[in-house]
Amino acid sequence: MANRETPLEVSGTHMNLHSYAAHRNLPKIALIKINRTTANRLKAPSTAGTEKRKASRTPSVAVSRLMQLPRPDVLNCYLSYNDIIMYLEYLRVRYSEFVKIHTLGLSYERRPIRAIEIHWNSDSNLWAQAKENRIRSAPVYSAELQQLEICEPQKGRNTVFIEGGTHAREWITVTVALHCIHQLTEKNIRHRELLRKLRFFIVPVVNPDGYEYSKNTNPRWRKNRRPHPDDGYVGTDCNRNFDIHWDKCKSKAKKNTYPGDKPFSEPETKALAQMLHKLAPKVLLFLSLHSYAQCIMYPWGYSKSLPTNYKLMESVAMAARNAIKTHSGRYYRVGSISSITKRIIAGSVVDYAYGVVKIPLALVMELPSNEYGFQPPVEKISPLSAESWCGIREMCKHAYELKAQIDKEEQQPIQLLTENGVETNDTEPTMQLEMLKEEAMSIRSKNHKNPEEIAERPSCSELVEDAKSVIRPKFIVRGDSTTNAISPRTASRDYFSSLLDFELEM
């Protein structure tokens, strides 16, 4: 009798494995192999009559989907974006007890920007069932699986956010992000201590349109694919499009570093920023993957000055550098973005994550592919990914060691620098800022052609003077530390205008 494959429901139709692969236009793939005896063991309990016959021929829904879902080879090739989405879906089904998939938004060409959340839950009933299922389906590892403990929810900051594929041609960053996902899911037993302590959000491809264009048409392409109607050029550098001193590095649309016509003009950067703000209170470490400068950097990119807690970020970067040096002998440089690149880089996601979203540890990891360029040979993917994961894992461990110190500092009263000294106030600045926003918005809605209203409305300079009394995080220090604090006297009109999240149209 010929073997029959359990059909898989896709978009309202039923298809077997081969037709499913053809439907998705998949390349050569590796399929998960499930022992027939194991599958039979996981069938629903048989009963009399029709239910008995149904159970005897149909395994559980999860096992049925697992038997059919293709698993792309993520460790030894550069996957297409469709294959990446397929792999994330495979993980969602295979490890449903601790894996979730989120859609941040859509790219210009309507591709979904996906993030994977990996987090060991604290629900004892869920974990009891999950452990039982894992032990039954993988008896070889029963002894290790029995060691799993219930993860209690962490207080304070406990999330690590990793993103790759911002620049289209940097394929290796996508592969390293996928390698991190592979380690935290398919090799989760090896990293159980890390998974007990931290929650991971990983976006393997921030710029899917550019990534696909780079793979299929122009390997040197860097930007996204949104065209500019005024001049006919295509693409914006997504790592120059964030709203933090965005106008410091303006360039022409034909340049690779074109920052866009305004901050957040691109759907990809909007989607990423919205997710960061949503997770902001919980994010401990933000890591942006790039290539190929072989260094680990921290803010600022828009300025040569250093942030107040740069020592903490430097210690995390040094921990990763030492781990990589031990693993492969490769040496990474460590420093601020502006000091290592020797130029000003404004509007970057790392500056935004640290300066606006207020993530305490924000780093850029430039991967080591100097001798190969942005796309190392296929045979180098696995060793480079393993080396990078070694450093990233150490970053996460060291960040967690700093967690208690960071949480303690954030619980201290906020001290605001004023012209007369230090003044403590927790709630009044926020209230004042909201009042200023309302006043400015009402001004914008007025008819500027009315001479009486023009005479009555406050001037831009008056609003800026009011804003100087509402000192935002750039001028906030905690505890007794006043390192690199900036006096309100030196603040510019443009900076205060950007803090108020609107343009003062006077």
Distance CA 85, CA 69 (A): 12
Contact 80, 104 (CB under 8 A): no
Q: How far is CA 239 from the centre of its chain?
A: 13
Cα 148 from chain centroid? 27
Active site residue 366: yes
The answer to whether residues 329 and 310 touch, using CB atoms and an 8 Å cutoff, is: no
Looking at 170, 266, 366, 394, which residue is catalytic?
366
Separation between Cα atoms, residue 338 and residue 304, nearest integer Å: 6
Three-state SS for 167? coil
Q: Which residue from 293, 275, 352, 273 is spatially nearest to 172, judged by alpha carbons?
A: 293
In this structure, what DSSP letter does residue 341 have? H
**What is the rounded distance in angstroms from the CA atom of residue 355 to the CA atom of residue 362?**
9
**Would you say 294 and 366 are in contact if contact means Cβ atoms under 8 Å apart?**
yes
Torsion sign, CA atoms 29, 35, 36, 39 = negative
Could you count the other beta carbons within 10 Å of the beta carbon of residue 393? 19
Coil, helix or strand at residue 155: coil
Contact between 438 and 432 (Cβ < 8 Å)? no
Tokens of 350: 């790392």
List residues with catalytic annotation: 366
